[in-house]
Each structure stands twice: as C-alpha cells, then as structure tokens.
Structure 1
Amino acid sequence: MVKHSATDTLLAAPGENRVALRGMDWVAYCQMRSLLNERSRARLTYDRGTLEITMPSEAHEFYARLIERFIIILVVELGMRVKTLGSTTLDREDLDRGAEPDNGYYIQNQPLVAGRAIDLAVDPPPDLVVEVDINHTDIDKNALYAAMGVPEFWRFNGRVWHIYELQDGEYGECDRSPTFPMIFKDDLYQFLITCQADEVEAEINFRTWLRTKINEL
C-alpha cells in the first residue's frame, strides 16, 4: 500500500456552514433540536448554553461517510463487533451538553448495547466518536466528548486526522488508534485519496492490503 502524507491533495471544496446561538438553556436547546431535526439536515451541538447549528457541505459528507466505511472495513476484517450510531443524538442533561456527531460506534462495549436503544443515563458512551470539522467550530468538542467519557475521539479537518484517547478525564493525542493499533494515519489518507477517483477500487485495495497485513501478524 503506497503511503501518502497529510500534505497530499485531498478534495478541495467548501466546508460546513455554522451558526452559534448563545445564552440558551437546556429546554430551549431541546425545543430547537425537535424543530430542526424534523425540517432540515442540520446537526446540533450544545455545550452549557451555546448551541451550534451545522449544515454539512459536500466535502464534509464525503469525508464523514468514507471514514465510516474505513472503520466498518476494519471492524469486519479484524473480526470485531460493532453497533453503529451514525449521528444519533448524545444528550447528557446532567452535564448540560448534547451532540450529534458525524459517526459514533460501540465496538468494545457492543455486547452491552446490542439490539436495543441507547440510554446514556445507564449505558456507557460510544467507544469511538468521529467528527469532521472543515470549518471553525465555536464548541470545544474535545472537552465536550471528554466530559461525556468517550474513550476515543477522531477529528478530521479535511487535511489532518487527529486521534485522541481519554486519559484521566482529558484527551491525549495518539499516533495511531487504540481500537485499531495496526493502522497508521497515512493508511486513512491513502484510502481517502484513492476514494476521490474510485471509491469501489479504494475499498477493494484497502481490504486486500489489510488482509495481507493481518496474515503477516
């Protein structure tokens, strides 16, 4: 598998449109969420009085969906289990925080939540959350997901993939995923670059490369 760095050319396109509303309490946030989720594709993130409304762009959705495919390929080929949440709302009224991430997954804790709806009042948070933020966000998402206790958090800004692992209540950046330690950052970059030309070929090549790597272990 040919390696590429974060400086290689990725899809050049506008990022998300965002609007931040301040001074909103939890009730107002819930009302706004109910209203917008019924009428738009908007994603909401709420952090102790600040509500950010995001309208995803083409580039945002391109990367978010392909990163999800990347994760599912890894899970399948490595013989793991997964419960996929997508952008399911993760509300924690006790923390005065709520979010609709691009992707969320139960992997290590999949057996605890398989086959039923999630209730964060009693269930653990997702094992892995992914956010694509091409444009600036007013929400400190690292602090938000750390407060929720999400063990692993991926952020991608259209160029650079950041991997964070929760350590003593705060995120520390890693050079590889704790969930998929055999995968390096350049592996995702190569996958995304190849997807720009042909997503099917990119998936076939990645699966072939990954199976070879697994067999070498």
Structure 2
Amino acid sequence: MVTLQLRQIRVPPGQRIILEDVSWQVFEAILNELGEHRRSRVAYSQGTLEIMAPLPEHERSKVIIGDLVKALLDELDLNWESLGSTTLKRKDKNAGIEPDDCFYIQNYKLMIGKDNIDLNVDPPPDLAIEIDVTSKTQISAYKALKVPEIWRYENRNLEISLLQGEQYVKSQTSPTFPNFAIIEIIPQFVEMARTTGMSSALKEFRKWVKEQI
C-alpha cells in the first residue's frame, strides 16, 4: 500500500480530488493539517472526502452574493451573524461541510461572539450559500447537518432548496425573504456586478430594495 502525506498533494485552482473510505479520525486529521488559512474547501459525507480549490470566478460570485444578502438583511432591519466558510460537522452524523457562506438569522442571538461551533449543541445556520463552478454541492452533508435553507448558484442561475422532513425540495421562494423574488433578483445583480463592478451593483441593489419596502 502506498502512503502519501497531505503536503504532497496539490490541488490546482478549479480542480478537486475525491478520497474514498476516509474515517472520521482521518477527516479530523486532514482538517487540522490543512489549517484555517487556506484556499481549499472540503466536504465530507459517509466516508467520502472531497477537497476543492476554487477559481476566481467562484470567489467573485461568493463575495457578491454574500454582500447582497447582508445588504438585504440590513435594509430589512434584520439581525444576523455570518460565519462565512466555517467548518460545520457532526461526528455522530459522519458529515462535515464548509459552505461558501452561511448566515444565522432566526438564531443569530445564539451565535454572537461564538468562536467555536458544536452542532451537537448549537443549531445549524439558517441559510447556507454554495457556488457550484468546479464541483456540485454535497447535499447529503447538509441534509445530515439539517441546514434548513440552501442557495446554490450555478451557470448564472440561483436554486433554492428547503429541508422538508429528511429531504431537500426545490422552492421558487425563500422563507427568509418571502416578499422578494430571490431566484430572479440575485442573479440579476450578480451579473450587474460583472459588468459595472461590485460597489456599483451593491449601491443599485440597496436603492432597489428601499424602493420595494
């Protein structure tokens, strides 16, 4: 059997590697070795570990969508806590994932000032955001962790999935923002950011939201 050290494996931007039959102990060891300050992203479910290295296209979309969510929450005067790409995991569920961004909205008070999250005690984020450019979101991990709402952005389209029972179902609306056509609005302003710049798109978005409310 050939044994490789993690530092011997390089994942180029836009690529991913998938490892099978990875135990929870090995998953934890890989997380520790990768550390917090890295560009790679991991997803783990039932022994399958995926390590991804995002492209600039991925990062740009992640930033603008996260900023649009924050702007909308602020304009609606809703409190929130963002945990970004924090590693969400539960040993008893044999699952772990690092979203592109995630928000606590209904449960924001519970997360204020928390540096460590234990999903055995703490609730999962109310909203997770995933940008699918080089890989598909591991829905099974989110299902195990019981994240109630996921936004997946792919090919300039937004898809909303809501956890109902033990399965995710696609939805045309977001319960977090029921009065807004999120699946139409978000891609529209992401595209605006591509053509006019992020700051300009955010200003126009805030202006648009104020007009709606």
TM-score using structure 1 length: 0.87
State the partner residue of 2:103: 105
Q: Does structure 2 retain, via aligned residues, the 8 Å contact 1:90–1:100? A: yes
The one-letter amino acid paired with 2:123 is P
Distance apart, 1:39 and its partner CA: 6.7
Matched residue, 2:53: 55
- The counterpart of 2:34, out of the listed 30, 33, 36, is 36
Q: 1:61-100 counterparts in 2 under 5 A? A: 61-100=59-98
Whole-Å separation in 2 of the counterparts to 1:152 and 1:100: 15
CA contact (8 A) 1:22 1:51 kept: yes
The residue matched to 2:160 in structure 1 has which SS? strand
Tell me the residue number matched to 2:6: none
Partner in structure 2 of residue 180 of structure 1: 177
Matched, 1:151 2:158: no
1: CA distance between counterparts of 2:100 and 2:146? 17
Shift of 1:133: 1.2
How far 1:143 sits from its partner (Å)?
2.3
Q: Per chain length, whose mean CA-contact separation is higher, i.e. which structure has more relative contact order (CA < 8 Å, sep 6+)?
A: 1
Match of 1:160 in 2: 157
Task: Report deviation, 1:170.
Answer: 1.1
Shift of 1:135: 2.4
SS of 2:31's partner is helix
Distance 1:128 1:113 in 2: 14
Conserved in 1, the CA contact under 8 Å of 2:45 and 2:140?
A: no
**CA contact 2:101–2:129 (8 Å) conserved in 1:** yes
Whole-Å separation in 2 of the counterparts to 1:121 and 1:18: 29
Answer yes or no: is the 8 Å Cα contact 2:43–2:141 preserved in 1.
no
The answer on whether the counterparts of 1:129 and 1:154 sit within 8 Å (CA) in structure 2 is yes
Asked if 1 retains the 8 angstrom alpha-carbon contact of 2:14 and 2:55, the reply is yes
Provide the C-alpha distance between the structure 1 equivalents of 2:46 and 2:184, rounded to a whole number of angstroms. 36
SS state of the match for residue 101, structure 1? Answer: coil
SS for the counterpart of 1:173 is strand
**Alignment size in residue pairs:** 198
Alpha-carbon offset, residue 38 of structure 1: 5.4
Is 2:133 the partner of 1:134?
yes
Task: Check if 1:204 corresponds to 2:203.
Answer: yes
SS in 2 for 1:166: strand
Shift of 1:182: 2.0
| Alpha-carbon distance in 1 for matches of 2:99, 2:25 | 20
Overall identity of the aligned pairs, in %: 37
Deviating 4+ runs (over 4 angstroms): none
Counterpart CA distance in 1 for 2:17 and 2:133 is 14
**What residue ranges of structure 1 are gaps of 5+ in the alignment?**
1-14
Q: CA deviation at 1:54?
A: 0.5
